Amino acid sequence: MNRNDLRRVDMNLLVIFEALMFEKNLTRVAEKLFMGQPAVSAALGRLRDLFDDPLLLRHGRGMEPTARALAILKELQPAMDTISGAVSRAKEFDPASSCDVFRIGLSDDAEFGLFPPLLRQLQEEAPGIVVVVRRANYLLMPALLASGEISVGVSYTTDLPANAKRKKLRDIPCKVLRGDDRPGPLTLDEYCARPHAMVSFSGDLSGNIDLDLAKVGRTRRVVLGVPQFSGLRALLAGTEMIATVPDYAACALVEGCALRAEDPPFPIDAAQLSMAWSGVHDNDPAEKWLRSRISQFMSVSLDIPGL
């Protein structure tokens, strides 16, 4: 195919193709691209004609890409990244007049403890933009960035896509939340004897805190696992349960309620909160503005009432 032949290729089809390869589900692609499912089905038919391959085949209740489809995706993605970056860099960004849609991935602790002041600043500078937040964590972040479902994410991170970039925002010191009214900080014995609540996106009832406890030869008793931080305020109030959480989540949780936060009675290795973004958007003026505001509002240390 030469350059003239490219005029017959609908770029929208390639965007749909990429989404199909990641989602493997016509309904989810329709929702993601704000299309009707019949339109996605018709696009898949056109793609099959274009590439002379079935592309997606039924496998149980789902669909799986063919080997040919995966090979096409591997070739297409870098080209689409290049085109997307070139188009983005060609336009200037004015926050005051922008109507852009920004898609951000946030871990629950970052969304709960750090996102509200950032959002207020974004809305003040750019009242016409739309912000879409996707739940992200170190497991979900790579796929969300690779598929383009988010342009930037904030979380504890490990492995990232090859073209992703990362910047440390801050350390994540921990605080112990408690809702009882007894004076004085918890001793290590009291900390281990108390029932614990734990925020766990995966449902696991152990984590890095338990590894740090093991270093001093101790264990804790987790009696409650919840999927997000916002529920802890009501769950801990007036009970013996305690929870060990990032300091910025503790700051948000103790505000205006009877909970209080204190330093843990044993050393905890602080993890790192990082911002990660796709290299495709590295020089995009709008994305650079967004990342600058994330850096400004999610890297500051917070004063926790009572400490």
- Look up residue 213 and give its DSSP letter: H
| Amino acid 8: pLDDT | 67
- Look up residue 205 and give its DSSP letter: S
CB 168 within 8 A of CB 294: no
pLDDT digits 0-9 by tens, 125-139: 999 999 999 999 888
For range 276-292, the mean pLDDT: 90
| Amino acid 75: pLDDT | 87
CB 166 within 8 A of CB 275: yes
| Amino acid 114: pLDDT | 93
- Residue with structure tokens 């009970």? 239
Q: How confident is the model at residue 304 (pLDDT cuts 50, 70, 90)?
A: low
Q: Does the structure show a pLDDT above 70 at 151? A: yes
Question: Which range among 12-26, 57-71, 86-100 shows the weakest confidence by mean pLDDT?
Answer: 86-100
CA 146 distance to own-chain centroid: 13
270 or 105, higher pLDDT: 105
Helix (H, G, I), strand (E, B) or coil at 65: strand
Task: Using CB atoms within 10 Å of the CB of residue 108, give its burial: 0 to 12 exposed, 13 to 18 middle, 19+ buried.
Answer: buried
Write down the mean pLDDT value for the chain. 88
| Amino acid 34: pLDDT | 81
pLDDT digits 0-9 by tens, 42-82: 999 999 988 899 999 988 777 899 999 999 988 888 888 77
CB 142 within 8 A of CB 149: no
Q: Does the structure show a pLDDT above 70 at 306? A: no
Rounded CA-CA distance 186/194 in Å is 10
Rounded CA-CA distance 143/24 in Å is 13
- Residue with structure tokens 């870098």? 78
Rounded CA-CA distance 293/301 in Å is 15
Rounded CA-CA distance 153/160 in Å is 11
| Amino acid 303: pLDDT | 55
CB 283 within 8 A of CB 303: no
pLDDT digits 0-9 by tens, 158-202: 888 778 899 999 999 999 999 998 989 999 999 999 999 999 887
pLDDT digits 0-9 by tens, 192-234: 999 999 998 877 888 889 999 999 999 999 999 998 898 899 9
| Amino acid 78: pLDDT | 81
Question: Which range among 1-5, 131-135, 279-283, 298-302 shows the weakest confidence by mean pLDDT?
Answer: 1-5
- Residue with structure tokens 């740090």? 212
CB 51 within 8 A of CB 44: no
CB 118 within 8 A of CB 258: no
| Amino acid 90: pLDDT | 57
Torsion angle defined by CA atoms of residues 201, 207, 208 and 214, in that order, rounded to the nearest 10 degrees = 170
CB 222 within 8 A of CB 196: yes
| Amino acid 139: pLDDT | 87
| Amino acid 98: pLDDT | 92
Q: Does the structure show a pLDDT above 80 at 284? A: yes
Task: Using CB atoms within 10 Å of the CB of residue 15, give its burial: 0 to 12 exposed, 13 to 18 middle, 19+ buried.
Answer: middle
| Amino acid 232: pLDDT | 92
| Amino acid 88: pLDDT | 61
14 or 60, higher pLDDT: 14
